[in-house]
């Protein structure tokens, strides 16, 4: 077996609201979405439609959002679990200081930036669905630039 890619699939209550949050606050772009009828793929939202799935992207990171009813039907292990996670989705980034100030100015739920014992400068964000995103930058990389 060769692993090609890892893409988080977040169970969410509202697809449009989750997409708007990630677009506005984190700079992700909507790539595709699937309406509740699940009979087509669209690149944008239509005003009077409900959606069960969306794919978003920023740089080399893809994220999936899937509405709770559809998610629990597809991922049977999640049927009795709440939305949110006791896991963090850790992303190594460049330009953490500027990104942190930008996110902080939006008054999102975030931790302070800290320097870790393993050589990273990092902070965590809790999104509107309760998912935890970690953002980190290598200290030695910053010192060499």
CATH number at residue 68: 3.30.720
Q: Residue 26 belongs to what domain range? A: 6-81
Residues 88 and 67 in one domain: no
Report residue 139 as tokens. Answer: 């200290």
Based on the structure, what is the number of domains in the chain? 2
Domain boundary among 25, 59, 81: 81
Residues 90 and 136 in one domain: yes
Residues 11 and 66 in one domain: yes
**Percent share of the chain, pLDDT over 70:** 97
Residues 59 and 109 in one domain: no
Residues 137 and 121 in one domain: yes
Q: Which long-range contacts (CB under 8 A, 24 or more apart) does 76-81 make?
A: 78/11
Residues 64 and 103 in one domain: no
pLDDT at position 107 is 93
pLDDT at position 145 is 47
| CA 20/CA 2 separation, integer angstroms | 34
Q: CB 44: neighbour CB atoms within 10 A?
A: 7
Average pLDDT over residues 19-25: 98
Band of residue 126 on the pLDDT scale cut at 50, 70, 90: very high
Report residue 88 as tokens. Answer: 């963090």
CA distance from start to end of the chain: 37
Domain boundary among 28, 47, 81: 81
Residues 103 and 48 in one domain: no
Q: Is residue 131 part of a domain?
A: yes
**Percent share of the chain, pLDDT over 90:** 84
CATH number at residue 111: 3.30.720.110
24: CB partners within 8 A, 6+ apart? 106
pLDDT at position 3 is 83
Summarised one tens digit per residue, pLDDT across range 76-107 is 999 888 888 788 999 999 999 999 999 999 99
Residues 62 and 105 in one domain: no
Question: Does 142 have pLDDT greater than 90?
Answer: no
pLDDT at position 141 is 59
DSSP reduced 3-state for 74? helix
Domain boundary among 45, 60, 81: 81
Residues 17 and 75 in one domain: yes
Band of residue 9 on the pLDDT scale cut at 50, 70, 90: very high
pLDDT at position 1 is 78
């Amino acid at each position: 077996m060769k692993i090609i890619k890892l893409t988080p699939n977040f169970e969410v209550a509202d697809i449009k609201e989750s997409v708007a949050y990630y677009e506005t606050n984190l700079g992700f772009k909507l790539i595709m979405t699937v309406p509740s009828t699940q009979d087509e793929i669209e690149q944008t939202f239509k005003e009077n439609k409900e959606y069960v799935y969306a794919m978003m992207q920023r740089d080399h990171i893809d994220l999936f959002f899937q509405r709770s009813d559809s998610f629990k039907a597809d991922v049977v292990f999640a049927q009795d679990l709440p939305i949110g996670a006791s896991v963090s989705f850790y992303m190594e980034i460049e330009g953490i200081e500027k990104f942190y100030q930008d996110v902080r100015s939006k008054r999102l739920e975030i931790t302070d930036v800290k320097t870790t014992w393993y050589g990273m400068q990092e902070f965590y964000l809790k999104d509107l669905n309760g998912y935890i995103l970690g953002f980190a930058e290598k200290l030695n990389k910053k010192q060499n630039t």
